[in-house]
Structures are given as structure tokens and as C-alpha cells.
Amino acid sequence: MSNKQSKANLNNIKMQAANEVGVTLNNGYNGDLTARQAGSIGGMMVKKMIESYEQNAK
């Protein structure tokens, strides 16, 4: 997988995670997020990546 594909995949996971936790993300700068919002997005991203890895490992 190329670097561009990896970045696009991570961005898609980030947008899905933000949507699931109810945080609106803009394309580009999102420095106005609170630490709680950013942490909830990051936590959901990790959860999704672990689930994806476990499904692909089987």
C-alpha cells in the first residue's frame, strides 16, 4: 500500500470516527477541538483499527 493510500485510509477512519462520536471535523485545520473531542476521535480510531486488524488476521 502506498503512502498516499495509507493517508487516505486513515483520513477516512478519522472522519468515520468523528461522525460516530458526534464531532464535526473540517477538511484542514481542526485546532479548535477540545482535548476531550480529539481524544474521543483518537480512541474510536484505535478501536476501528484493532477491529479491522482482527478481521483481516482470520
pLDDT tens, residue by residue, 2-52: 899 999 999 999 999 999 999 999 988 999 999 999 999 999 999 999 999
What does 18-58 look like in DSSP terms, one character per residue?
HHHHT----SS--TTS-HHHHHHHHHHHHHHHHHHHHHHH-
- What is the total count of domains within the chain? 1
Spell out the residues 6+ positions from residue 6 whose beta carbon is closer than 8 angstroms to its own.
none
User: Is residue 58 predicted with pLDDT exceeding 80?
Assistant: no
- pTM for the full predicted model: 0.83
Domain region containing 36: 3-57
Angle in degrees, CA 15, 37, 52, rounded to 5: 45
- Per-residue model confidence as pLDDT tens digits over 12-24: 999 999 999 999 9
